[in-house]
Amino acid sequence: MSLAFESVDLPAGAHALRDRVRAFLRAQREASAYEPRCSGWTVFDRTFTRACGEAGLIGLTWPARWGGQERSTLERYVVVEELLAAGAPVGGHWIADRQSGPQILRHGSATLQAEVLPGIVRGEITFAIGMSEPDSGSDLASVRSRGERVDGGWRLDGRKVWTTGGHLADYMIGLFRTEPADPQRRHAGLTQFAVDLRSAGVTRRPIRNLCGRDDFSEITFDEVFVPDSHVIGQVGDGWRLVTGELAFERSGPERFLSVFPLLVALLRAGPRDDTPTARIELGRAVAHLAALRRMALSVAATLDAGGDPATEAALLKDLGNALEREIPERLRALRLAEPGSPQAAAYRAMLDDTVADATSYTLRGGTPEVLRGMIARGLGLR
Ligand SMILES: Cc1cc2nc3c(=O)[nH]c(=O)nc-3n(C[C@H](O)[C@H](O)[C@H](O)COP(=O)(O)OP(=O)(O)OC[C@H]3O[C@@H](n4cnc5c(N)ncnc54)[C@H](O)[C@@H]3O)c2cc1C
């Protein structure tokens, strides 16, 4: 009934790995492969993802037989931290590397593992998350998309929405109802499937967000066939699996580092320092980020040791998202030393975009009310 955030030291190999990632990012920037952006983990760029695959930055913790490097979660942490801090466009492989691949490693059939894992590591196969539906977001157990048994597999019908990168990805792990809903057993009768999104019967429609970008989509399933080999775990065990997956989805540094590139852009642009405001704001942001980083490292170490840090992950995401929303708002008040410089223009463009984008940071991956309910339950308070 208490929270566990043990202090963690990075393993010896982590520092060399960090240098390697920085060298890779420097080379990519010099080749004009990307412009830093806040929330780069939602920017889908297949070329960049392939380059990450070639550089050995995907599937780091996975078994060697699938192309992985069998490294620790803490070493992977260092890699993702560097990619996020640089504002790199890693959305193409983010979901597969963070949660779909690990889910398939633990619960997928041998056929499915061979079909997708080596391709994910090479940066060639990408995944989306198929949980939310119209009227089923926070209350995920109410999903109505359904799977029905047919010869050799399952037939899927229904609709998913707000699927990040869903119109661009190759596969989705989706949650479907495979038994009629029972109000007495709301979490029963759900099953996860890995669905090839290029299958007949799949229709994808990008949805434009507040920033004018098509980051997410609506996906309809009309008699889509999925073979038995693409069932994740056991039929009917989808609720347990999806909640396990959410611990991975919520626990990473992307839940507080989305706006880090904005702080870097501000420093490059040069805030006016004839008042203490800039120093106070920057010091405040960095102090909060440092505390969240210690918490995230601790969650990564718990995951490495096979523990279940679901409550700690929910707390980290809630605190991290609150800070991510707050930072751009507070930076708006700061003035720049040379407002006409190119660095100032770049910073202002990033700030404008991030102020609009940040409104969604507390929604994606679970809202504050839902997370706080989980934290209260985890602490035995409800
Ligand atoms: C940018 C972005 C990307 C996303 N990407 C994905 C994705 O890739 N895949 C995917 O499956 N989904 C994705 N989502 C969907 C996201 O998970 C849902 O939006 C989120 O879970 C909230 O669900 P909802 O939108 O249906 O809102 P609702 O669940 O209808 O919630 C509306 C409001 O009611 C509150 N509320 C709901 N239930 C309770 C309760 N029991 N107690 C107190 N308050 C409550 C909520 O906190 C919220 O403020 C994404 C969303 C965004 C914004």
Decide whether any atom of ligand 1 lies within 6 Å of the 213 Cβ.
Answer: no
Query: Does ligand 1 come within 6 angstroms of the Cβ of 211?
Result: no
Which of 137, 69, 109 has its CA nearest to residue 227?
109
Question: With 90 as the cut, is the pLDDT of residue 324 above it?
Answer: yes
Q: How confident is the model at residue 245, as a pLDDT?
A: 86
Greater confidence, 175 or 279? 175
Per-residue pLDDT band at 273 (split at 50, 70, 90): confident
Using the structure block, give the residue that is written with the tokens 């909640």.
243
The domain spans of the chain are 14-125, 129-241, 251-378
**What average pLDDT score do residues 252-268 get?**
95
Q: Characterize the bridge pairing of strands 216-227 and 202-207.
A: antiparallel
Question: What fold characterizes domain 129-241?
Answer: Butyryl-CoA Dehydrogenase, subunit A; domain 2 (2.40.110)
Q: Report pLDDT digits (tens) over 195-227.
A: 999 999 999 999 999 999 999 999 999 999 999
- Cβ neighbours for 117, distance < 8 A, ≥ 6 positions apart: 59, 62, 66, 67, 101, 104, 105
Contact of 202 with 159, CB cutoff 8 Å = no
pLDDT-based confidence at residue 194 (cuts at 50, 70, 90): very high
Average pLDDT over residues 300-320: 90
Q: Which of 62, 61, 63, 88 is nearest to 76 (CA)?
A: 61
- Predicted local confidence at residue 314, as pLDDT: 93
Ligand 1 site-directed mutation target among 204, 367, 375, 382, most atoms within 8 Å of CB: 367
Question: pLDDT class for 251, splitting at 50, 70, 90?
Answer: confident
pLDDT at 276: 77
In terms of Cβ atoms closer than 10 Å to its own Cβ (0-12, 13-18, 19+), residue 32 is exposed
Q: Tens digit of pLDDT for each residue in 343-371?
A: 999 999 999 999 999 999 999 999 999 99
pLDDT at 128: 98
Element (H, E) at 351: helix 342-357
What does the alpha-carbon distance between residue 207 and residue 196 come to, in Å, rounded to a whole number? 20
* Distance between Cα 364 and ligand 1 center (Å): 7
Chain segment 19-72, per-residue pLDDT in tens: 999 999 999 999 999 999 999 999 999 999 999 999 999 999 999 999 999 999
pLDDT at 310: 87
- Cβ–Cβ contacts within 10 Å for residue 77, how many? 25
CATH code given to domain 14-125: 1.10.540.10
Contact 197, 147 (CB under 8 A): no
Tell me the β-bridge partners of 305.
none
Q: Which fold has domain 251-378?
A: Butyryl-CoA Dehydrogenase, subunit A; domain 3 (1.20.140)
Q: Whole-angstrom Cα distance, residue 332 to residue 20?
A: 34
Mean pLDDT of 168-186: 96
Q: Closest Cα partner for 302 from 113, 69, 73, 147?
A: 73
Helix then strand then coil, in percent of the chain rounded to 5, is: 50, 15, 35
Ligand 1: distance of its center to the CA of 381 in Å? 23
Question: CA 67 to CA 93: how far, in whole Å?
Answer: 15
The whole-number pLDDT of residue 304 equals 83
**In the numeric block, which tokens belong to residue 238?**
């989808």
